[in-house]
Amino acid sequence: MSIPFFSKLRNRKAHLRTVKAELQKVRDAIESQTEQFSPHMRDYMRQVCRSRGKMIRPGLVLLTAAATGGIKDDHITFAALLEMLHMASLIHDDVLDKADTRRDEPTPNALWGNELAVLLGDSLLAQAMVMGADIGDSRFIRRMAVAVRDLCEGEVEQSTRLWDMEMSRADYYELIRKKTATLFAMAMSGAGYLQGLDDEMIGHLNRMGTLLGISYQIYDDCLDMTGTDDSAGKTLGTDAEKGKLTLPVFFLMESTSEDVAEYVRSAVEKHEEIDYARLRDTDAFAEAIRLSVDEGLSRNEEAREVLWMLPESPAREALTEMTYRLDEMLRDCLV
Ligand code: FPP
Ligand code: MG
């Protein structure tokens, strides 16, 4: 379970080698950004930037660029800044979630406390914006700033709607669209924009990124309930502890098994942590995960429709494989 998505795919699928060299350039670009900070901060930033992520967002930028005419220098800069924005958001997220492990490493809040972690996240965000400005296109910078605003809005909505029985499934989808799908959508549409594609095609890429981002967050939410810290390399179970209403929780509250539905609803009403150990062996739990997984799978199917609009190429093939890999990851959550 929870085999790293993009890196696993990279190992298994030969055609991803088409962007291997550029992915290394993105890693180098991120590393070189640490030199922009004062000597005092540099060690912290180096440590923060050293953590190896799955590089899903840079992968999406590079593959979209390769599938639509070729990877330019601006795509490398863009892929690097997007990963930095993502890293900044995770640093802040781990403070909010009180998570002490990510990517098998202690989180900045665990190492240095919340105050420094927040400031390091801010610094990384600011440096990503500097890189965005270097691309030198005001429409592009504006779009990026809107994406960051949406990301923050999603996180604010989440933080202010814990244990909120008024929250609907539609609210959940809008929330995860903002907090997770925004950067996926930005990766694909931004790559298309830098390629000079027309607005209609950029819109299609934006939709595909949104669908994949939503599906990815559904996977992450299922994993929080079914995975283990060790296999995921991060602290799990924080959703239940904090009272985040995720898709499987909605399905549990709507379960035809009255006992389970009643237990989950009453825990949410009383702001008590849902005890998954108590539910894990029930049919209702398996059904809630299955229904959630199906929601992710149908979004991946829809995302693939966009890919058929692009000319056939190894990069398009690799993007298609990514969507199938996400299918597999979702299915791995089934209990
Ligand atoms: C992970 O969610 C977190 C996000 C997708 C977004 C976090 C965004 C912020 C904290 C806003 C600040 C943004 C910037 C750019 C500084 P999760 O907790 O469900 O996933 P996890 O299990 O990986 O922690
Ligand atoms: Mg988290």
The residue whose CB lies within 8 Å of the most ligand 1 atoms, and thus the one to mutate among 155, 217, 219, 242, is 155
Quote the ligand 2 centre to 285 CA distance (angstroms). 22
Mean pLDDT value across the chain: 92
Quote the ligand 1 centre to 153 CA distance (angstroms). 11
Ligand 1, pocket residues at CB < 6 Å: 85, 88-89, 92-93, 96-97, 99, 121, 125, 148, 151-152, 155, 179-180, 220, 234
At residue 2 the predicted structure's pLDDT band, cuts being 50, 70 and 90, is: very low
CB 89 within 8 A of CB 151: yes
Question: What is the mean pLDDT of the segment spanning 305-333?
Answer: 94
Q: Which domains does the chain have, with CATH numbers?
A: 14-331 (1.10.600.10)
At residue 50 the predicted structure's pLDDT band, cuts being 50, 70 and 90, is: confident
Asked if residue 221 has pLDDT above 70, the reply is: yes
Ligand 1: atom nearest CA of 95 is: 10
The residue whose CB lies within 8 Å of the most ligand 1 atoms, and thus the one to mutate among 2, 156, 179, is 179
Residue 5: the pLDDT is: 55
pLDDT digits (tens, 9 = 90+) for 285-317: 999 999 999 999 999 999 999 999 999 999 999
Residues with CB under 5 A from ligand 2 (ion): 93, 97
Which of 238, 273, 279, 280 is closest to 261 using CA atoms?
A: 279
Quote the ligand 1 centre to 96 CA distance (angstroms). 9
At residue 11 the predicted structure's pLDDT band, cuts being 50, 70 and 90, is: very low
Residue 16: the pLDDT is: 58
Nearest CA to ligand 1 atom 13: 89
Residue 46: the pLDDT is: 92
Asked if residue 8 has pLDDT above 80, the reply is: no
The token pair at 149 is 């605003």
DSSP 179: I
pLDDT digits (tens, 9 = 90+) for 238-264: 888 889 999 999 999 999 999 999 999
Asked if residue 60 has pLDDT above 60, the reply is: yes
The token pair at 6 is 């993009």
pLDDT digits (tens, 9 = 90+) for 107-131: 999 999 999 999 999 999 999 999 9
Question: What is the mean pLDDT of the segment spanning 23-47?
Answer: 93
Is the pTM of the predicted complex or chain greater than 0.75?
yes
Task: For the chain, state the CA radius of gyration.
Answer: 20
Residue 182: the pLDDT is: 97
Question: What is the mean pLDDT of the segment spanning 216-232?
Answer: 90
At residue 103 the predicted structure's pLDDT band, cuts being 50, 70 and 90, is: confident
At residue 172 the predicted structure's pLDDT band, cuts being 50, 70 and 90, is: very high
Q: Can you tell me the distance from the alpha carbon of 252 to that of 239, in angstroms, rounded to the nearest whole number? A: 14
- Phi, psi (rounded to 5 degrees) for 256: -75, -15
Beta bridge partners of 106: 101
Which of 200, 148, 188, 197 is closest to 322 using CA atoms?
A: 188
Which of 68, 70, 26, 321 is closest to 202 using CA atoms?
A: 68
